[in-house]
Chains A and B, each alone.
Chain A
Amino acid sequence: MRVKNSLLSLCKKTLYESISAEMMLRFMELMDPSYDFYTRSGIPHNIPVTNQMAAERIVSDAAEDGRFIDLVEVLVKVDSIGYMGRNYPIKGLAQIVKAINQEGFVFDSASGQFFENSSERASPDWGRLHDGDERQTALLRLDIASNSSIVKNNPVEQVDQVYSALRNIVQRAVISRFGRIWLWEGDGAIAAFVFYRKEAAAIMAGMEILNELYFYNSFANPLPDPVKLRVAVHAGPIKYRKDPIELLKNDTIKDIIQIEGKATPIDNLSASSNVFLSVDRVIQECFSQEKHTVFGKLRYYSIGLEH
């Protein structure tokens, strides 16, 4: 996020009017434990630092590192629940939050985080992740079964129409649950969920994709045969990379590709045990019993019609 100068000035003013330089440094370290004010500023330790100097430097460094929103999140937390048993009311914070909202973010008071407003844009990094950031991520991988025979045996226009409808189904299911589609190759996609209840969101997005495709195949598919998918949901640490080739080098992504390709039957959604436990019972009941595979314990969801 590119931060406007007016917002930076407002934040600096708010900081030096509300808290001491010492506390500012502490709060900055809460956000980034590796942050060293004296090294970054070149000011020797024996020189006293005024509130203005500290606010100026800290806010500029946070913006330069792309961590301005993270800093504001820490300030919001300190303002609402205090720090080490003491209250630190920060005057003017509401104005800063409002200004960030105007930049296309929404503040979620439950999680205390800013999120990109999905109705305005849906960038792969949520406007928050930086190259190299490592996050616990829930992934959804889908693959169109028999893609090459669909492409080979049907008119191009019809195939384009079907794939565009499928893409819409996937996008709606993923974006509405605050996920992002990271990769869309010819026959499959990878979507990621980093914030909120990411595991539940990934599983429910997978269920919605299969449900919607079921109706698309029944009522709208112009092809003679139904489109079939294999969908997998798995979670693990991901080092975020802007370059898709670098992103694919993550072990968690390699794992989910294996789970989808080798342990997920067609027309099924498989969920690995590390995501399944985070889902509420009402959703868990739609899945099969746990099955042991070489890729770990998996549960499956698929749709059938009573005979």
Chain B
Amino acid sequence: MKIQVFSKVKKTLLTATQSNPLSVELCPLSELKKNSLQKDTIPYLDVSDLSEEEIKKSLKLINSVTNYGVWGVIDPNGIIKDPARLFFDGASDYMGPALCKEGMDRCRLKALLSWVEARQNASTGNNKKPINLAEIEDCIAESDKPGNAFPGWKAIKPGNIYNFYFFYVSVSAHTNLKSRLGEKAYKIFMDKFRMLLQQSFLESDCILWMETDSNALYLVPPKKQNATSIIVIALRILLSAPLLAYEKLHIPFPVKFTFALHYGQSEYAIPGKTGTIISDAINYIHHLGAKKAEPERLSISEEAAHLLEDKRLGQFFAEAGVFEKQRIFHSKKFMYK
């Protein structure tokens, strides 16, 4: 999560605190336009050196461009006579001369977001898109971790290090399956399986990163909602495996899928050019998938186990010992009676 300060002056007086810092970026006021805001950004207007007319115009503009209906005003010289008026006009924060010196930190941002959410809940008939606090908290949580913040698949840079969820997929007993189907039919089966997974995983915004003829590794953005979504989809696939195998993959005998999920850090490379990457997280997910994960189950490493704090997900999992110094959680098998 980033703060973007739009200002006419070349240096903003707003600083980030040292103890609990937050990324603050200064932008020229002329760049404050529709669709100019980056994702996961909260805009602030620095009113220093602005005339009354310019302030009025800029306030209107910032109110219309904001991502989450959240924006604030920075007033290092105390030129705003009636700060409460700003709130009547839709502002969510006001930082006067003293606060500007103190700086902006994450605690203030969290308090601000909670207040905005409460305000939106209280107001009925508000047409604005409701704030997604979970999404924003995800961004804040992500920026707490080492490595670069995930910028989205379009802006991601090969060579940089990011946090990801790694999702491992394999078809159990693939050698046996290959000999039963034959080389050509096995290839068709794997193509159909890839297609099925990619359609199912759309919601979780993941990408197919590495693939062999028996398993695949998907990269999931380091956001709780994406990872939660992929867990639910995997459980759904495990439950419906007989139907999917028969109807979508056209296999006349039972096929078992094995899934594993891990959270960690890795250098990013575009799919197909991942051969030179050296990463503990990638080693771990491959070991977990190949050596510890079991057919008809989703195995989750301790690093990704925070996702199971959600009781709705947690009920599907049980602890399954330790693997390479990490606790492992296996999904319970679905039984047909």
Where the two chains meet, the residues of A that have a C-beta atom closer than 8 Å to any C-beta of B are 204, 207-208, 211, 214-215, 218-219, 280-283, 285-288, 300-307
Q: Which residues of B contact A300 (CB under 8 A)?
A: 337
In the complex, residue of chain A having the shortest beta-carbon distance to the beta carbon of B246: A282
CA of A190 to CA of B136, assembled, Å: 45
Structural contact, B336 and A287, CB atoms closer than 8 A: yes
Structural contact, B336 and A211, CB atoms closer than 8 A: no
Structural contact, A282 and B242, CB atoms closer than 8 A: yes
CA of A306 to CA of B332, assembled, Å: 5
Structural contact, B333 and A306, CB atoms closer than 8 A: yes
CA of A288 to CA of B335, assembled, Å: 11
Structural contact, B240 and A304, CB atoms closer than 8 A: no
Give the shortest distance, in Å, between A264 (CB) and chain B (any CB).
13
Q: List 28 A-B contacts (CB under 8 A).
A: A204-B246, A207-B243, A208-B240, A208-B243, A211-B236, A211-B239, A211-B243, A214-B239, A215-B232, A215-B235, A218-B315, A219-B312, A280-B246, A282-B245, A282-B251, A282-B254, A283-B242, A283-B246, A300-B337, A301-B337, A302-B337, A303-B239, A303-B334, A304-B334, A304-B337, A305-B332, A305-B335, A306-B335
Q: Which residues of A contact B333 (CB under 8 A)?
A: 305-306
Chain B residues within 8 Å of chain A by Cβ, number: 23
Contact of B243 (CB < 8 Å), options: A215, A283, A304, A306: A283
In the complex, residue of chain B having the shortest beta-carbon distance to the beta carbon of A173: B243
CA of A31 to CA of B332, assembled, Å: 55
Structural contact, B332 and A211, CB atoms closer than 8 A: no
Which of B254, B335, B336 has most chain A Cβ within 10 Å?
B336
In the complex, residue of chain A having the shortest beta-carbon distance to the beta carbon of B228: A219
Structural contact, B316 and A305, CB atoms closer than 8 A: yes
Structural contact, B312 and A218, CB atoms closer than 8 A: yes
Structural contact, A301 and B336, CB atoms closer than 8 A: yes
Give the shortest distance, in Å, between A155 (CB) and chain B (any CB).
17
Q: Which residues of A contact B312 (CB under 8 A)?
A: 218-219
CA of A218 to CA of B231, assembled, Å: 13
Q: Which residues of B contact A281 (CB under 8 A)?
A: 252-253
B247 at the interface (CB under 8 A from A): yes
In the complex, residue of chain A having the shortest beta-carbon distance to the beta carbon of B335: A304
CA of A301 to CA of B254, assembled, Å: 17
In the complex, residue of chain A having the shortest beta-carbon distance to the beta carbon of B310: A219
Give the shortest distance, in Å, between A130 (CB) and chain B (any CB).
30
Q: Which residues of B contact A306 (CB under 8 A)?
A: 332-335
Q: Which residues of B contact A215 (CB under 8 A)?
A: 232, 235-236, 239
Give the shortest distance, in Å, between B134 (CB) and chain A (any CB).
15
Structural contact, A285 and B254, CB atoms closer than 8 A: yes
Q: Which of B151-184 contact A (CB under 8 A)?
A: none
Given A302-B337, A303-B334, A286:B232 Cβ within 8 A: no
Structural contact, B243 and A204, CB atoms closer than 8 A: yes
CA of A219 to CA of B253, assembled, Å: 30
Structural contact, B239 and A280, CB atoms closer than 8 A: no
CA of A302 to CA of B239, assembled, Å: 11
Q: Which residues of B contact A207 (CB under 8 A)?
A: 243
Given A218-B312, A282-B246, A283-B246, A211:B240 Cβ within 8 A: yes
Q: Which residues of A contact B252 (CB under 8 A)?
A: 280-282
Give the shortest distance, in Å, between B228 (CB) and chain A (any CB).
9
CA of A307 to CA of B332, assembled, Å: 7
Given A208-B240, A215-B235, A280-B252, A286:B246 Cβ within 8 A: no
Which of A208, A214, A282, A287 has most chain B Cβ within 10 Å?
A282
Give the shortest distance, in Å, between A196 (CB) and chain B (any CB).
12
CA of A152 to CA of B143, assembled, Å: 47
Q: Which of B294-337 contact A (CB under 8 A)?
A: 312, 315-316, 332-337
Q: Which residues of A contact B332 (CB under 8 A)?
A: 305-307
Q: Which residues of B contact A219 (CB under 8 A)?
A: 232, 312
Q: Which residues of A contact B337 (CB under 8 A)?
A: 288, 300-304
In the complex, residue of chain A having the shortest beta-carbon distance to the beta carbon of B296: A306
Give the shortest distance, in Å, between A174 (CB) and chain B (any CB).
14
CA of A33 to CA of B66, assembled, Å: 72
